[in-house]
Structure 1
Amino acid sequence: MFNVLLALTIVISVGFGAGPQISQGGAVIAVSEAPADNWQPEPQVPTGKFTTATEVKPILTATKAAWLALREYEGNDLLYFTHLVAWRCGLHEIHYAVNGAAQQVFEVEECYLETAQPNAMKMETHLPYITYDLGSVDSVSVTLVFDDGSKDSAEYGRKDILMP
C-alpha cells in the first residue's frame, strides 16, 4: 500500500494544468499541486492503443525491473522514467521518492489520443528524466496509480537501476 513514502515524491500527471516551476540541475521542471480529490477512475474500455490500465497494467507488472534507470552523465545522476512515460496513457499518476526528500509533482506531456501513437513522446516540453548531483541518488521508491484507481509499487537501490 501507499502508506508512507519517505523521500522525494514526484507525481507525473497527465493532462493537469501547469503550476510553478523549479530549476533542478539546469532543467526547469513544472511543479503543481496534486489533482483535486474529486478525480474518478476512468472507464476501462480497451482501445488497442494501450491507453487504459486494463491494457498497460500487465505490461508494467511484467517489466517492473525496468520502470526506472539511473545514468551517470556529465557529472550528474540522471534518473530516467522513460519506460513509465512510454505507458503514461494508462496511468493517472506516478509517485516516486528519492532519499527522503520532500514531495513534488512532475508533469509529463499529454497523451495524443487522437493519433495512431497516443503514447508517443515528442519531448518538446517535457523530458523523461530528472537531474541530480553525481552519486546523490541512493534509493528510489515508486508507486503507480493506474487510471482505474489501482496501484502498484516498487523499490530500487542505486545498483538495481544504474546503467553501465
Structure 2
Amino acid sequence: MKLIKIAALCLPLALAPIGSTASAQGMPPEQIKQILDLTKANWVSFRDWQGQELIYFTHLESWKCGIDYVFYGLNDDPIEQEWQLEACDPDNQNVVLKDKPYLELPLGSAQSISVQLIFKDGTKSAVERFEYKSQ
C-alpha cells in the first residue's frame, strides 16, 4: 500500500519534462509532509566509521526546501538541538552539497536519536525515535 502511495506522489515529478520547475519547493506543503511521513524510516541513519559514530541527516537535507527546522535529542535528552539545514537552492532543490551531512560522535555515545521537523507552513511532525542497531 505504501509503495502505491509513494508512486502516486512521485509520478507527477517523473512525468515532468526535463527542465521543468517541478520540485519539492513547488509542491504543496501537504505533499512534502506526506513524502516525509512515508519515508520517515530514512530521516536519519547511523554508521560506525574509523572509531566514530556518525548520524546522517542526508535524507532530510535532500528535502530541505520543504522543512524550516530539524530538532533532535540524543538518547533520552530533550529535543532541543537544531540540525542546521543547507539553504534551499531553487535551481537544485534536492541536491545535498553539505560537506558533512552528519553528526560526528565518539563511538558508542548514541543509542538513539529523536527527531522532529517543523515544516514551511509552521506545522510540526510527530517526534520520531531512531534506535542504533549495531552493525
TM-score range relative to shorter protein: 0.7 to 0.9
Where does structure 2 lack aligned partners over 5 or more consecutive residues?
1-20
Could you state the TM-score of these two structures normalised by the residue count of structure 1? 0.61
Q: Equivalent residue for 1:49?
A: 23
Q: Name the residue aligned to 1:120.
A: 95
Structure 1 gaps of 5+ residues are 1-46
Give, in angstroms, the shift of residue 119 of structure 1.
2.4
Aligned counterpart, 1:157: 131
The answer on whether the counterparts of 2:63 and 2:93 sit within 8 Å (CA) in structure 1 is no
Higher helix content, 1 or 2: 2
Task: Give the number of the structure with larger relative contact order, counting CA–CA contacts within 8 Å between residues 6 or more apart.
Answer: 1
TM-score, length of structure 2 as denominator length: 0.73
- Please name the residue that 1:134 is paired with: 107
Code of the residue aligned with 1:58 in structure 2: it is Q
Considering fraction of residues, name the structure with more strand: 1
Which digits, 9 at most, give the CA deviation of each residue in 1:82-117, with x for residues without a partner?
00111011001011100227843332221111x1x2
Alignment deviations for residues 112-154 of structure 1 (CA, whole Å, 9 cap, x no partner): 11x1x2221222xx52101000011111111011111111121
Compared CA separation, residues 64 and 106, structure 1 to 2 (3 A): closer
**Contact 2:72-2:82 within 8 A present in 1 as well:** no
How many residues were matched structurally?
111
Counterpart for residue 62 of structure 1? 38
RMSD of aligned residue pairs (Cα, Å): 2.0
